[in-house]
Structure 1
């Protein structure tokens, strides 16, 4: 080796760089093995690539962008988004690739209400799938700007791009015959009857809090923009996409064109499809608790730190997870782990980086 080093400056610099890189890789590998020497079936790769540069798909809840007690003004949501991105940027700073999706429940409900109010002023109401598209544009702008600002503050040169994302659903999905997803504001019984009779909305009582409109929630299959998303991610962009699970669309075979349908996709299921499509090393759902819990709100309440697919399915059967709250998050994680063999995480926004390091969160791994 020494004789080759003396040949010329170009080769010498290359070989010296190679030596330093080898030392770095060796030391990093030793540290990884030491950190995980007692782990069993942790689902995380022990390779240098995974430790130093994971590709993480992060699903951010819509409520994180409009926190409890806020009126929902632009300034409210901008402040909430800025706070959220101050946590998310830590994932990038740690050397990871980031793909981000977000919920849109509060925002879609607000836009829907604006549409209803606008009809009284003779402003035509837009279909539900258009309301979803509007939230993707609005929240995409906010997330781009606030994450860009957080990256600049850390001295990280990364481009952030958001994509209006459509999600194919099966027009024969049983959900279209059985709407179950509540959206929008709460109404009194009288208001609900008016909306049911005059506008044809499906209205149901929601846990004693009032009446809400319910819509179909079909299972997402594939994103129309999947190849564009993968190209951007593979090119080093931070991509914000599939907001609210994606805009539900079908392929009209007679007209040979894509059409939006009035439905709402579960954002967590949509995120799991995104994570699998982008070949993510891990899928992380951020919610308002650090871990999923057994015996929720009981004296023997216990945090789940790590569990296999089989164990989580058993917990579902035992009724540990609330429908419409933790249950869909767990189901989305199970879908990802089963289809990829890679781990999924559920944790709170301010515990995201700790969860990736195994210090917080619920980690779901293959059997």
Structure 2
């Protein structure tokens, strides 16, 4: 079975943890153990997040520019590609440490977006360090960057356009057919726009789960799994909450899920199931083997209604 796994942030960094290489490696070791257990029997593509990692690189860039003003900060597409290499390196090393027989390859992957996407007219995705309002206004006055209030501080905002195409789709296929576990589209992929025959990097952030869904369609995956904190719940956090075992896009359409957390994930799995290519699931990374046999997490498939545990 061909499976695309979208790893949530908890696979790389637990809430409240310092963003150190040691902490990330410790979490990745746990993730690798779960993934390696199913990689022996299935074709696996891993898509990981990179939000905290890019944020740290942006802060380091900003701090270095204060020391060396002529050294302009690297653009977000370049920073994104850096994190693809860093996180991919740790994942592929720890997967092989769990099972030396596994062949693992990390592919720095470009994801094409459209400059006509409405997201470019209204940047909303917060990235990078926090600033005072005064400093944010100074930065906006001397650059084309946009800053908005985020609580008591100001942060830069960038567009979050929809992914259109996976540029290296053929390379992903080739690596899979050669027997590799493939780590691709890290952070949603390096965002690029097409200018005639040329590809050029753009300053934006692509939703990792939406790119993973597009990749699942592109390579005809049998199963698309978003690995996060757990299953889909009806009325999560309320007295009548209930954990969903099996759901359908039609059944899920009757519920409202938070835009900042479960909402985009539900949208992504429903989109894949509605494409008619296969099934999808949402669940905990550490229940991955049970998710495959519908003993944990929420399985999403075509049909009607919802079944609860």
TM-score (norm 2): 0.93
| Residue matched to 1:177 | 121
* Structure 1 outlier segments of 4+, above 2 Å: 184-201, 208-212
Give the structure, 1 or 2, with the largest relative contact order (CA under 8 Å, sep 6 or more). 2
| Residue matched to 2:306 | none
- Displacement of 1:341 after TM fit? 3.8
- Displacement of 1:241 after TM fit? 0.4
Rate the CA distance shift 1:103–1:159 in 2: closer, same or farther, 3 A: same
Deviations 1:43-94 (A, max 9, x none): xxxxxxxxxxx2111011134212223221111211111121112112224x
Question: Are 2:58 and 1:58 equivalent residues in the alignment?
Answer: no
Deviations 1:111-153 (A, max 9, x none): 111111111122321111111111111111111111111113x
Within 5 Å, which residues of 2 pair with 1:267-282?
Answer: 267-282=208-223
More moved, 294-303 vs 133-142? 294-303
Partner of residue 142 from structure 1, selected from 69, 76, 90: 90
Q: Count residues in correspondence.
A: 301
Within 5 Å, which residues of 2 pair with 1:165-244?
Answer: 165-206=109-150, 208=151, 210-244=153-187
| Residue matched to 1:163 | 107
Higher strand share: 2
TM-score (norm 1): 0.78
Contact 1:346 1:363 in 2 (8 A): yes
Unaligned stretches of 5+ residues in structure 2: 304-309
- Displacement of 1:190 after TM fit? 3.8
In 1: Cα distance, 2:246 partner to 2:128 partner: 35
SS at match of 1:305: strand
In 1: Cα distance, 2:52 partner to 2:129 partner: 9
| Residue matched to 2:192 | 249
Deviations 1:93-112 (A, max 9, x none): 4x122111101011011111
| Residue matched to 2:245 | 305
In 2: Cα distance, 1:105 partner to 1:262 partner: 14
Deviations 1:302-348 (A, max 9, x none): 11221111111221xxx2x1112111111111111111341110001
Contact 1:63 1:106 in 2 (8 A): no
| Residue matched to 1:29 | none
Contact 2:9 2:228 in 1 (8 A): no
| Residue matched to 1:69 | 16
Question: Are 2:281 and 1:345 equivalent residues in the alignment?
Answer: yes
Rate the CA distance shift 1:210–1:352 in 2: closer, same or farther, 3 A: farther
Within 5 Å, which residues of 2 pair with 1:42-121?
Answer: 54-93=1-40, 95-121=41-67
More moved, 57-66 vs 184-193? 184-193
Higher helix share: 1
SS at match of 1:304: strand
In 2: Cα distance, 1:168 partner to 1:224 partner: 7
In 2: Cα distance, 1:134 partner to 1:82 partner: 20
SS at match of 1:136: helix
In 2: Cα distance, 1:209 partner to 1:225 partner: 41
In 1: Cα distance, 2:139 partner to 2:298 partner: 42
Partner of residue 254 from structure 2, selected from 298, 314, 327: 314
- Displacement of 1:209 after TM fit? 6.0
Unaligned stretches of 5+ residues in structure 1: 1-53
Deviations 1:255-312 (A, max 9, x none): x311011111000000001111222110000011x21122121111111221111111
